[in-house]
Amino acid sequence: MNAMTQDNLRSAFGGESMAHMRYRIWGEKAEKEGFPTVARLFKCTADAEEVHATLHFEALRDINGDFPVTSMAGFGLTNTSENLQGAIDGETFEFTQMYPAYIAVAEMQGEKSAVRAMKYAIEAEKVHAELFTKAKEAVDGGKDLEVKTMLLCPICGYISLTGEEDNCPLCNAKKELFISY
Amino acid sequence: MNAMTQDNLRSAFGGESMAHMRYRIWGEKAEKEGFPTVARLFKCTADAEEVHATLHFEALRDINGDFPVTSMAGFGLTNTSENLQGAIDGETFEFTQMYPAYIAVAEMQGEKSAVRAMKYAIEAEKVHAELFTKAKEAVDGGKDLEVKTMLLCPICGYISLTGEEDNCPLCNAKKELFISY
Ligand SMILES: [Fe+2]
Ligand SMILES: [Fe+2]
Ligand SMILES: [Fe+2]
Ligand SMILES: [Fe+2]
Ligand SMILES: [Fe+2]
Ligand SMILES: [Fe+2]
């Protein structure tokens, strides 16, 4: 694999790994503040980021060794409204800046497995940003998010809050594979 | 918090988050290769790294925003023997190089919460390296790791394969808190 795409995939792996961890921590905080469904959304999205991190790690499977990895990451642990804003900002950075740049390089270099892993991720991040925006509107209105269904596609990281899809709208995986939160 | 200690804690958070993710992936691989107890050790240690990542994130709780984070991280997904060598190398880097350097800076800067978080981590990493070394000896002899007990201290990330301790030897947490794998 070309060096620039390798570097970008490692950076994306670092960003996804830190997002996974941050959402688990922010989920605990939402639980403590009395927003159990927002907590559930954070934990479901944490697992979606694990799907992305794993896709990137697998695309890099043949390149062994230790590397310095630089990634953007959000920090801070104040309250759930601010944590949701941090999540929206992080997802938006990923789908408007990071992944478009990395995908352009991977396409230019003809790195098909990298393109595939990152195209799954970019589409899922758009959905994550929408769902966190809904969650923030609820929390800023003093309420928990009001949804019953919460389903994760374990192939691409898509999240459904309706369950109305037949197959995954992003990767076409069968709905029977979806994991309920 | 002083800027250098902030940076070092963010770097340690990145390293722990990527180690958590890598060990989960390497655990799946060990499972597939017929080493269920090595898989269990990878998953238990993944959760120990989540303890460390969370300690560092909480020490940084008042510093909000997005930052570029640079951390060393291991890559590659060939076979369990090589993955265990990667784990030993990563843990050894952390307890011989990364944490000693970061702790020296935090002590010099009088950053008590950072020193505390990183001292828990460095002592646990020594134990992780020992256990991965045992696991590699077993796998290289064609066998799975032979242990029944596997306990994680959720306060500091210490792992016990005997259960003979009264309290956690690293952080003194009560043994009743230990999580069994
Ligand atoms: Fe992601
Ligand atoms: Fe996301
Ligand atoms: Fe999908
Ligand atoms: Fe650690
Ligand atoms: Fe460790
Ligand atoms: Fe402990």
**Which residue among A54, A71, A90 places its CB closest to the CB of B14?**
A71
pLDDT, tens only, B84-105: 999 999 999 999 999 999 999 9
B29 touches chain A (CB under 8 A): no
Question: Does residue A111 belong to any structural domain of this protein?
Answer: yes
ipTM strictly over 0.90? yes
Whole-number Å distance between alpha carbons of B141 and B73: 27
Question: Does residue B85 belong to any structural domain of this protein?
Answer: yes
Chain A CA closest to residue B60? A76
- SS3 call for A72: strand
Our count of domains for chain B comes to 1
- How many CB atoms sit inside 10 A of residue A125's CB? 26
Are the CB atoms for A146 and A128 separated by under 8 Å?
no
Question: Does residue B161 belong to any structural domain of this protein?
Answer: no
* Torsion of Cα atoms, B124 then B126 then B131 then B137, to 10°: 170
pLDDT at B31: 98
pLDDT at B45: 98
pLDDT at B21: 98
Confidence band for B137, pLDDT divided at 50, 70 and 90: very high
Mean pLDDT calculated for residue range B120-137:
98
Question: Does residue B48 belong to any structural domain of this protein?
Answer: yes
Question: Does residue A134 belong to any structural domain of this protein?
Answer: yes
Question: Does residue B17 belong to any structural domain of this protein?
Answer: yes
Question: Does residue A179 belong to any structural domain of this protein?
Answer: no
CB contact under 8 A, A76 and B64: yes
Mean pLDDT calculated for residue range B5-9:
98
Over chain B, what is the mean pLDDT? Answer: 97
Residue numbers of the domain that contains B59 = 3-65+74-143
Whole-number Å distance between alpha carbons of A67 and A79: 34
Whole-number Å distance between alpha carbons of B161 and B32: 23
pLDDT, tens only, A63-114: 999 999 999 999 999 999 999 999 999 999 999 999 999 999 999 999 999 9
CATH of the domain at A47: 1.20.1260.10
pLDDT at A96: 98
List of chain B residues whose C-beta atoms are within 8 Å of the C-beta of residue A89: 66
Question: Does residue B83 belong to any structural domain of this protein?
Answer: yes
